[in-house]
Structure 1
Amino acid sequence: MESAEWTSDALFELHVQPVERHEEARYQEQMARHHYLGALPKIGETVWYVATWRDQWVAQLSLSGAALKCGVRDRWIGWDFRTQYGRLTLIANNSRFLILPDWHRPNLGSRVLSLTERRVGADWQARFGHPVLLLETFVDPRRFHGGVYRAANWIELGLTQGYRRTRAGYSAEADAPKRVFVRPLCRHPQRQLTHPDRSHLHLTGASKIMLNADQMRALPQCFRTITDPRRAHGRRHRLPVVLGLSAGATLCGMRGYKAISDWANGLGQQAQRRFGCRREQGHFVVPSEFVIRDCLVRIDPGALDRALQAWNTAWGMYDAALAMDGKTMKHALDETGHRTHIMSVIGHDSKRCHTPKKSGPCP
């Protein structure tokens, strides 16, 4: 494009739309060639965007799942450990932003970000069934100063601690702290992300928790007393490890054998070590989906339930709120001829029934 063709009015001819399936190879090839971090695969909730001017590609973006932990972001939001994990999907991470060569023009970057912000909420709702309330990104200060994000009204929160993910978990030393920027997509995002009532967020799926290191170590210990129904010959994975991983996956919202297996395979080496996984050729390995299914269908359900109740008693979360409900049984009369009343109290967070009770007539 000739410089004379680009004027301030050209910004209004920019369009941003998700990358179509037949365009993904081109998107990845250009990202791998021109972005200093290279291309990223599509994992989980991810949408790729391309900005065009008169049918020419000028910029590319990738929005994906939020960082699991970020101290300055979490303090800015003000949420606690439980709330964070259940609502982390309401944040999207701008993991890649590339302005293609020969397209570096004044205000182009901020305009592309603005157009993306306008449509990402509807795109996320249509594709993944839930809204996005906040965007985040990390900028390496050794390479960039984040001016394009400031120009697009993003908020700089501070620096990360500088640790990075590795195959073994996290790097032992801080490497390069990144600048953290966020962009609210709604009014009062902190209030919405921390509000105790989830109904206005239209979230779906089972309740989830996030296990800490001590809970990971404790889960397999709860199953040590359960008799292993398998033959001793050919066992590669101890039964407490298999049951601990299965219970951990279920507590984190997984449903079904495949989901449990995928969750276990997605754990880092540090987490697999905490669960007591088998070590082979310098790496920890997890049981296969077949082994998980075989163990779960053959063990004594009563013994499994007692072990889980013991873990829940020791490690279950305290409930921030309780729900009380009751009813009068229409045709159930006691020996005095009065109707029977049933009352129960359920913990909002743990989903435990604290006081199921039958009683006579209320005073």
Structure 2
Amino acid sequence: MARHHYLGDLPKLGETLWYVATWRGQWLAQLTLSAAALKCGVRDRWIGWDFRSQYDRLKLIANNSRFLILPQGRFPNVGSRVLGLLERRVAADWQRHFGHSLLLLETFVDPRRFHGGVYRAANWLALGKTRGYRRTRTGYSDEAEAPKWVFVRPLHRRATALLIHPDRDRLGLTGTPKMQLNAHQMRSLPLCFAAIPDPRRAQGRRHRLPVVLALAAGATLCGLRGYKAMAEWAADLGQAARARFGCRRRRMNGKDHHYEVPSEFVIRDCLVRIDAGALDAALASWQKAWGLIDEALAIDGKTMKGAIDDEGRQAHIMSVVGHESEHCYAQKKSVPCL
């Protein structure tokens, strides 16, 4: 791959599998399947998913990031034949190695070099072209470069319907639902918490309360739980993301700006001190502006085992949860029945 492919070899990107096509013991072609592109406008519009479900289900798509037909494999129809063999086994291979199946394959073709004839012959769908911006360490390139053709190949006859299906269990997804925050959502989170009073002393306060709460909420929306996980998620943010959250800025080496994030202690200290009702109202306002609109709500009540109030009665909690988003809109202590 490193010797013959014009882009060279590709390091491991998330969940990655390598394939070799052989004929009578001789290598004919090599393929690399890796993590799907984080954002692709034509693909995302074709699927029809929203920002909340996209990040959580992106792992159900794999990117054919490299496809090389070796010099000794230049036979008629060998490319489409190799792609056909790949489609038959890749879902089972992915399930065996990573614990979940695949619903869709994608790839990008540079029209300056190729016209995608191999993918068209293998019945891949040409969705259109990208805008031409490429990812950099600081975000995306300032100017559009070479737009690429986007091809996809569904591995299930209802691939798009399953990718947007609200039931995660039906897709075999485990763990907490996750999402990916975009730049506008990062900037909006601190604004939702601006009205909450800061219970900390002014002396020694380094991080603004709306920023701390926004980082904690962002980590939770992305599937993290616990103070340590929130702090690690914040520490992994790049400088551009930290700036969007409004993190504290200080100069390093006399010229470069460096944005600092709060520690685990600061996050825990703020969350245990603030008023829970004010925090719930702020999160509800953000959910109303950015969240998925639920067609139905579920109301459920629980008796908290071992939780006794000041009057010696067990605490009863009522919760309201959205069917589609699985978001908890409210959780209140109910009035005891007499």
TM-score, with length taken from structure 2: 0.79
Structure 2 equivalent of residue 311 of structure 1: 282
Superposed, which structure 2 residues align to 1:217-232 within 5 Å? Answer: 217-221=187-191, 222=193, 225-226=197-198, 232=204
**Alignment-mate amino acid for residue 123 of structure 1:** D
For 1:324 and 1:187, how far apart are their aligned partners in 2? 35
| Corresponding residue SS for 2:2 | helix
For 2:243 and 2:285, how far apart are their aligned partners in 1? 22
How far has the Cα of 1:158 moved from its partner? 0.9
| Corresponding residue SS for 2:18 | strand
Of the three residues 318, 322, 328, the one matched with 1:347 is 322
How far has the Cα of 1:228 moved from its partner? 5.6
How far has the Cα of 1:120 moved from its partner? 1.3
Q: Are the aligned partners of 1:342 and 1:359 in contact in 2 as well (CA < 8 Å)? A: no
Of the three residues 55, 78, 100, the one matched with 1:130 is 100
If asked which structure has higher relative contact order (CA below 8 Å, sep 6+), I would say 2
Question: Cα gap change, 1:106/1:259 in structure 2, threshold over 3 Å: closer, same or farther?
Answer: farther
Structure 2 equivalent of residue 248 of structure 1: 218
How far has the Cα of 1:206 moved from its partner? 0.3
Question: Cα gap change, 1:169/1:327 in structure 2, threshold over 3 Å: closer, same or farther?
Answer: closer
The runs of 5 or more residues in structure 2 that have no matched partner are 304-315
CA deviations 1:37-60 (Å, max 9, x no partner) are 222221322222222333333322
Q: Give me the CA root mean square deviation.
A: 3.3
| Corresponding residue SS for 2:128 | strand
| Corresponding residue SS for 2:144 | coil
Structure 2 equivalent of residue 334 of structure 1: none
**Alignment-mate amino acid for residue 328 of structure 2:** R
For 1:46 and 1:271, how far apart are their aligned partners in 2? 27
Q: Are the aligned partners of 1:32 and 1:38 in contact in 2 as well (CA < 8 Å)? A: yes
**Alignment-mate amino acid for residue 52 of structure 1:** T
Q: Are the aligned partners of 2:80 and 2:119 in contact in 1 as well (CA < 8 Å)? A: yes
How many pairs does the alignment contain? 315
CA deviations 1:112-145 (Å, max 9, x no partner) are 2122211111122122222210101110000111
Q: Are the aligned partners of 2:14 and 2:34 in contact in 1 as well (CA < 8 Å)? A: yes
Structure 2 equivalent of residue 76 of structure 1: 46
Question: Cα gap change, 1:282/1:114 in structure 2, threshold over 3 Å: closer, same or farther?
Answer: farther
For 1:153 and 1:253, how far apart are their aligned partners in 2? 36
CA deviations 1:210-236 (Å, max 9, x no partner) are 323233123345278435689849x6x
| Corresponding residue SS for 1:138 | strand
How far has the Cα of 1:286 moved from its partner? 5.0
Of the three residues 31, 44, 50, the one matched with 1:61 is 31
| Corresponding residue SS for 1:33 | coil
CA deviations 1:48-107 (Å, max 9, x no partner) are 222233333332222122212222112222222323233222111111112223322222
**Alignment-mate amino acid for residue 226 of structure 1:** D
For 1:41 and 1:259, how far apart are their aligned partners in 2? 27
More moved, 291-300 vs 120-129? 291-300
How far has the Cα of 1:259 moved from its partner? 4.9
Structure 1 equivalent of residue 152 of structure 2: 182
Structure 1 equivalent of residue 165 of structure 2: 195
Superposed, which structure 2 residues align to 1:206-221 within 5 Å? Answer: 206-221=176-191
Structure 1 equivalent of residue 6 of structure 2: 36
Question: Cα gap change, 1:139/1:276 in structure 2, threshold over 3 Å: closer, same or farther?
Answer: same
For 2:181 and 2:319, how far apart are their aligned partners in 1? 28
How far has the Cα of 1:33 moved from its partner? 2.8
Of the three residues 321, 337, 360, the one matched with 2:296 is 321
Q: Are the aligned partners of 1:137 and 1:180 in contact in 2 as well (CA < 8 Å)? A: yes
Tell me if 1:51 matches 2:27. Answer: no
**Alignment-mate amino acid for residue 82 of structure 2:** V
**Alignment-mate amino acid for residue 351 of structure 1:** H
Structure 1 equivalent of residue 241 of structure 2: 271
| Corresponding residue SS for 1:144 | coil
Question: Cα gap change, 1:182/1:56 in structure 2, threshold over 3 Å: closer, same or farther?
Answer: same
Q: Are the aligned partners of 1:264 and 1:286 in contact in 2 as well (CA < 8 Å)? A: no
For 1:326 and 1:298, how far apart are their aligned partners in 2? 29
The structure with the larger Rg is: 1
For 2:61 and 2:48, how far apart are their aligned partners in 1? 14
**Alignment-mate amino acid for residue 283 of structure 2:** N
Of the three residues 81, 89, 98, the one matched with 1:119 is 89
Q: Are the aligned partners of 1:261 and 1:292 in contact in 2 as well (CA < 8 Å)? A: yes
More moved, 276-285 vs 52-61? 276-285
How far has the Cα of 1:272 moved from its partner? 2.6
**Alignment-mate amino acid for residue 46 of structure 2:** W
| Corresponding residue SS for 2:167 | coil
TM-score, with length taken from structure 1: 0.74
